[in-house]
């Protein structure tokens, strides 16, 4: 009985050892391991290849986005662009199908007196085809840039109203002439010193010297040129008690004002025996006396309102602006006529004469006013006024030359001593 059990146990032990050995052999065997490694390599290669495809797709979209941004900011920064620069940039992206890649806050505009700069940033998220297998669902495609256009030479005529109405009170509680002075001084500082400055100004200028010229042209019913400036024009010389010019209606059909032939050509020029421009008469329509009161004359001899041509120093302009005062009627067309005339290229010989021979203008402005088609050049007329044209006093036709029909009765005459008589040539009578 015992022997039988031993035999059975031996048989049972041999049967259980065989599967165990098979398991051990399978665990130790290296057959088939290359297949598993190949599967890992295949997945890795698929991810790497897919990454290249996704990166290439992203770069293609980024290139398109950058090209759109470049076109948009160039169009927005153009000085010939009349539309709002921000709207132009956003519209370019919308038309290209990238409207979601940019917003208004991504566009910044910097405007200066002689230029404009537009900067923008955009971002597009490109969905992944393969990298999402490793948790990267999209790749960013950014674009950015800045474009600017500017003019290097600027010519400005600052035409300011100094008529009597400017002495009235403005909405600020101060007089209008004082408000004008403050605005004009701020303007010339920003133009010739620092366009980004804020009040109070510190005098730290960043504008390149002699790039911006400003002519200050005060006007009421006349424009006082000053004797030095009026001598540049082809003007009558019957007197020198006033330095204003009376224009005819035909003079307003052109911008230029005719120069003296000797200013145009100092060597070969010949004085014009019949000058085309008439110097203003001495007129005092207010005093009622037999002599004119200087401060009441329509063309006052006081130089506080004289034209300052082609100034390059804002401090000199500020001093001239401080001297302005309000009086007289209003002739806006005269102010604008002179403002435009001083920007016309026909004035170049006068600038050269004023600079080289008279020392009134810096020699660095010789050659101005530049031609209208000169690159990187801008001409601007700034008009500051409070109202409309009123009255201008002129001597009537037929009374501008020759003997006057007005006579004073001698003081020792029996009748009407000291009175003014008017002679009627047709009847030969005097009326008083």
Using a pLDDT cut of 90, give the percent of the chain over it: 60
Q: Tell me, what's the pLDDT at 392? A: 82
For 91-125, the pLDDT digits (tens) are 999 999 999 999 999 999 998 767 899 999 999 99
Mean local confidence (pLDDT), 141-161: 94
For residue 249, CA distances in Å to 134, 223, 253, 258, 337 come to 83, 16, 8, 15, 12
DSSP character string of 230-283: HTTB-B--S-SS---EEPPGGGGGSS--PBPHHHH-TTT----SS-SBEEPP--
Using a pLDDT cut of 70, give the percent of the chain over it: 84
pLDDT at 4 over 80: no
For 238-274, the pLDDT digits (tens) are 888 889 999 999 999 999 999 999 999 999 999 999 9
pLDDT at 12 over 50: no
pLDDT band at 288 (very low <50, low <70, confident <90, very high): low
Give the integer Cα–Cα distance in Å for 112 and 150: 9
For 370-419, the pLDDT digits (tens) are 999 998 899 999 999 998 888 887 777 766 666 777 767 777 777 767 67
Mention every residue, 6+ apart, whose C-beta is less than 8 A from residue 182: none
For the chain, give the mean pLDDT. Answer: 87
Q: Tell me, what's the pLDDT at 29? A: 64
Of 25-34, 156-165, 172-181, 280-289, which gets the smallest average pLDDT? 25-34
Which of 71-80, 193-202, 293-302, 341-350 reaches the highest mean pLDDT?
A: 341-350
pLDDT band at 30 (very low <50, low <70, confident <90, very high): low
Of 16-30, 68-82, 185-199, 209-223, which gets the smallest average pLDDT? 16-30
Mention every residue, 6+ apart, whose C-beta is less than 8 A from residue 310: 213, 214, 215, 342, 351, 354, 361, 362, 365, 368
**Parallel, antiparallel, or unpaired for β 420-424 and 429-431?**
antiparallel
For 293-337, the pLDDT digits (tens) are 676 778 888 889 999 999 999 999 999 999 999 998 999 999 999
Higher-pLDDT residue of 118, 421? 118
Cβ neighbours of 286 (radius 10 Å): 14
For 52-64, the pLDDT digits (tens) are 888 999 999 999 9
Q: What angle do CA 308, 114, 380 make, to 5 degrees?
A: 45
Q: Tell me, what's the pLDDT at 111? A: 85
Higher-pLDDT residue of 47, 224? 224
Q: Tell me, what's the pLDDT at 39? A: 73
Higher-pLDDT residue of 339, 238? 339
Tell me: cis bond preceding 241? Omega within 30 of 0 counts.
no
DSSP character string of 320-358: HHHT----S---HHHHHHHHHHTTSGGGHHHHHHHHHTS
């Amino acid at each position: 009985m015992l022997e039988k059990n031993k035999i059975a146990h031996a048989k049972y032990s041999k049967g259980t050892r065989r599967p165990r050995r098979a398991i051990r052999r399978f665990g130790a065997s290296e057959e088939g391991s290359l297949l598993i490694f190949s599967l890992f390599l295949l997945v890795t290669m698929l991810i790497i290849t897919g990454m290249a495809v996704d990166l290439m797709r992203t770069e293609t979209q980024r290139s398109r986005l950058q090209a759109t941004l470049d076109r948009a900011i160039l169009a927005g920064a153009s000085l010939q662009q009349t539309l709002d620069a921000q709207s132009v940039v956003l519209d370019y992206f919308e038309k290209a199908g990238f409207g979601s890649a940019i917003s208004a806050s991504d566009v910044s505009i910097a405007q200066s007196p002689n230029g404009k700069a537009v900067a923008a940033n955009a971002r597009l998220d490109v969905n992944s085809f393969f990298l999402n297998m490793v948790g990267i669902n999209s790749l960013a495609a950014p674009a950015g840039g800045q474009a600017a256009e500017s003019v290097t030479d600027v010519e400005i005529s600052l035409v300011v109203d100094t008529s009597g109405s400017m002495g009235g009170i403005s909405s600020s509680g101060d007089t209008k002439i004082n408000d004008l002075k403050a605005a004009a001084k701020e303007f010339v500082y920003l133009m010739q010193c620092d366009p980004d400055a804020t009040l109070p100004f510190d005098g730290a200028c960043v504008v390149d010297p002699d790039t911006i010229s400003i002519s200050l042209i005060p006007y009421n019913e006349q424009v006082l040129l000053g004797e030095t400036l009026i001598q540049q024009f082809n003007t009558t010389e019957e007197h020198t008690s006033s330095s204003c010019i009376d224009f005819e209606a035909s003079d307003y059909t052109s911008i230029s004002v005719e120069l003296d032939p000797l200013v145009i050509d100092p060597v070969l020029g010949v004085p014009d025996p019949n000058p085309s421009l008439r110097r203003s008469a001495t007129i005092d329509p207010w005093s009622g006396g037999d002599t004119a009161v200087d401060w009441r004359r329509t063309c006052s001899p006081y130089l506080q309102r004289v034209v300052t041509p082609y100034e390059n120093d804002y401090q000199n302009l500020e001093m001239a602006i401080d001297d302005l005062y309000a009086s007289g009627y209003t002739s806006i067309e005269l102010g604008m006529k002179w403002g435009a005339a001083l920007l016309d290229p026909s004035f170049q010989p006068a600038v050269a004469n004023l600079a080289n021979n008279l020392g009134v203008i810096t020699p660095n402005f010789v050659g101005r006013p530049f031609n209208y088609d000169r690159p990187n050049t801008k001409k601007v007329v700034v008009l500051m006024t409070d109202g409309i044209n009123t009255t201008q006093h002129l001597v009537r036709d037929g009374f501008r030359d020759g003997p006057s029909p007005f006579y004073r009765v001698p003081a020792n005459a029996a009748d009407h001593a000291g009175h003014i008589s008017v002679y009627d040539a047709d009847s030969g009578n005097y009326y008083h």
